[in-house]
């Protein structure tokens, strides 16, 4: 078969998508011309097949990823995530990527059903790029937050059957003149509700309760980027300490959290060396603290034995 390479609409398999688009939404364009390529169409078919074969609990058929934290700092915003994915009582993946740059001034972290959440964020990044190409200007941060909200809502059917995907969106709002106030954090629920987090920090995922408790004590307005990285790593450490689905720093394998920092210059992945240094610092501090507390407990018990007429070990 001869394919006309001069015509971008031609395809040898007969599945070409009509060239050109008047819609600024890539999802709407696919929904009109190739709905089978949308993630939700495949998910719906798979769920229907699973149900037909007698399956009821879908939550255990795919890996789940947790935990994501975000916090603002002087001149920017940071988002970080652990690396563990679980499937039931098993560790499905130890070095999963959960934080993604979605455009020049935004990034998203994922929690929930890993495959669905990753596909959601990747499609979101394509949406932002498509909009800018069609309209000639980037989407505002509020527009990005609203767009992601509608995409989360489109997964409601799967979420109702246990396959939820909940992102955490952060960005640097270039429309705000003060860079110290331009860092923004937006959270979502499974039905697509969006919530602006104005406390300066937030966390999602199974370990979010412990991570937020840590951030409540560690966070302070105006902290530096290095301090924000340290606080994010320490909060993930605390989450992993109490939540088995969250992975802490793995020094043996060299696996540490990943993070994205966004400033007026743009969004960029935080270097592995910076995160590993922060993680090692946290581990050293906690090890020293545990050693001191253990020693103090030993001396207290020894003193109690002596006072009761016993002998110290």
Catalytic residue IDs: 66
Give exposure, 255-277, as e/b (b: 16+ Cβ within 10 Å).
Answer: bbbbbbbbbeeebeebeeebbbb
For the chain, counts of helices (H) and of strands (E)? 8, 13
CA-nearest of 231, 214, 213 to 222 is 231
The answer for 254, left when phi > 0, alpha when psi is -120 to 50, beta otherwise, is left
| Residue whose tokens read 């001069």 | 6
Q: Do 257 and 96 meet the contact criterion of CB atoms below 8 Å apart? A: no
The answer for 48, left when phi > 0, alpha when psi is -120 to 50, beta otherwise, is alpha
Structure tokens at 129: 């790029």
**Rounded to 5 degrees, what are φ and ψ at 165?**
-130, 115
Structure tokens at 118: 């990753």
Structure tokens at 299: 């001396």
Q: What is the C-alpha to C-alpha distance for residues 204 and 165, in angstroms, rounded to an integer?
A: 11
| Residue whose tokens read 């988002």 | 79
First to last CA, the chain: 87
């Amino acid at each position: 078969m001869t394919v006309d390479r001069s015509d971008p609409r031609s395809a040898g398999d007969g599945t070409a998508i009509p060239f050109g688009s008047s819609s600024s939404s890539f999802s709407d364009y696919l929904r009109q011309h190739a709905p089978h390529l949308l993630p939700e169409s495949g998910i719906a078919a798979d769920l229907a097949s699973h149900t037909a074969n007698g399956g009821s609990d879908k939550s255990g058929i795919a890996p789940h990823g947790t935990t994501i934290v975000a916090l603002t700092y002087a001149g920017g915003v940071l988002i970080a995530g652990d690396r563990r994915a679980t499937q039931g009582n098993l560790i499905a993946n130890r070095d999963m990527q959960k934080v993604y740059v979605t455009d020049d001034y935004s990034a998203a972290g994922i929690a929930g059903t890993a495959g669905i959440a990753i596909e959601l964020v990747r499609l979101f990044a394509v949406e932002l790029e498509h909009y800018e190409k069609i309209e000639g200007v980037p989407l505002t941060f509020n527009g990005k937050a609203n767009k992601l909200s509608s995409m989360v809502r489109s997964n409601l059917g799967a979420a109702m059957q246990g396959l939820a995907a909940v992102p955490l969106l952060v960005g640097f709002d270039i429309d705000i003149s003060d860079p110290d106030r331009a860092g923004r954090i937006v959270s979502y629920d499974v039905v697509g509700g969006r919530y602006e987090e104005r406390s300066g920090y937030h966390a999602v995922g199974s370990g979010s309760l412990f991570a937020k408790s840590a951030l409540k004590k560690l966070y302070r307005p105006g902290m530096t980027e290095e301090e924000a990285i340290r606080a994010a790593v320490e909060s993930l450490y605390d989450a992993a300490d109490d939540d088995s689905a969250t992975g802490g720093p793995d020094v043996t394998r060299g696996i540490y959290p990943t993070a994205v920092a966004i400033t007026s210059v743009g969004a960029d992945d935080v270097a592995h060396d910076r995160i590993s240094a922060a993680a090692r610092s946290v581990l050293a501090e906690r090890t020293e603290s545990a050693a001191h507390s253990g020693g103090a407990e030993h001396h207290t018990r020894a003193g109690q034995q002596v006072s009761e007429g016993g002998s110290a070990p």
